[in-house]
Chain A
Amino acid sequence: MHVIFLGKFGDRFGPEAEIETDGLSTVADVMKRFDEDGALTASSTICVLDEEVVKPSAVIFGARELAFLPPVSGG
């Protein structure tokens, strides 16, 4: 699955990554895989699975792309 990190998350984790999802079933599982100090699992993080905003409990089976969005700056 393709994982995208926007904004300050990109500085921290790199702008994108390809991951194997074996053993991962939810968005929260993917978060934990990258997160070491809770930056991603903060409640303000917006999770977008195949262009739909989802909760961390969302199942990732069959999904192509997951994006983690920090609070927006606005335009």
Chain B
Amino acid sequence: MAELTVEIGEAPFAPEPLIQAFREGQADACGAIASFTGVMRSEGGAAERLYLQHYPGFTEREVRRIAGTAADRFSLQAVLVRHRVGEIAPGEPIVLVATAARHRREAFEACDSIMDFLKSAAPFWKKEAGPKGERWIEPTERDLADRKRWED
């Protein structure tokens, strides 16, 4: 049974110490750690702030389900998902996903898969604010196509 850690909160985080702690927490059988950090883009100044909303309790449960599904599918030893909510500035990390597996392929693919589901199916709502006002963001066609890779 993989160890699943899901943390959602408003506090800014630095991914590097979290990845190091995640790696140091793995057993000797672990041969691969993969990680992905998503960072807010400024879109050339068009996006000055991102406001990320979640539904406490419900969102954590859904993210844990996404992580658990990937852990089963790719035989992971551990998964870490750290996700920001609240107000986020350009350049700040939004999400960190780290996966631990015996071999690299499983770690890479699991990390990729988890991000595709987080980007298109996780219960978060994003509002982008910039010089032209505010707008709610929905998943792009590419986000949906990326997720479909894992559903076939």
Contact = CB atoms under 8 A, between A and B. Distances in A.
Q: Which of A4, A6, A48 has the most CB of B within 10 A?
A: A6
Size bracket of the B interface: 20 to 34
A75 B136 CA distance: 13
A33 B122 CA distance: 28
Contact of B118 (A6, A48, A51, A74): A74
A40 interface: no
A73 B95 contact: no
Given A8-B125, A51-B57, A67-B58, A73 B136 contact: yes
B83 A70 contact: no
Nearest to A73: B126
A71 interface: yes
Interface in B102-123: 118-123
A10 B123 CA distance: 15
Interface residues of A, number: 15
A42 interface: no
Interface string A57-72: 0000000000101111
A7 interface: yes
Contacts, number: 56
29 contacts: A6-B53, A6-B123, A6-B125, A7-B53, A7-B125, A48-B55, A67-B58, A69-B55, A70-B125, A71-B138, A72-B120, A72-B122, A72-B123, A72-B124, A72-B139, A73-B124, A73-B125, A73-B126, A73-B136, A74-B119, A74-B121, A74-B122, A74-B124, A74-B126, A74-B143, A75-B38, A75-B52, A75-B94, A75-B122
Interface of B: 38, 52-53, 55, 57-58, 61, 63, 83, 94-95, 118-126, 136-139, 143
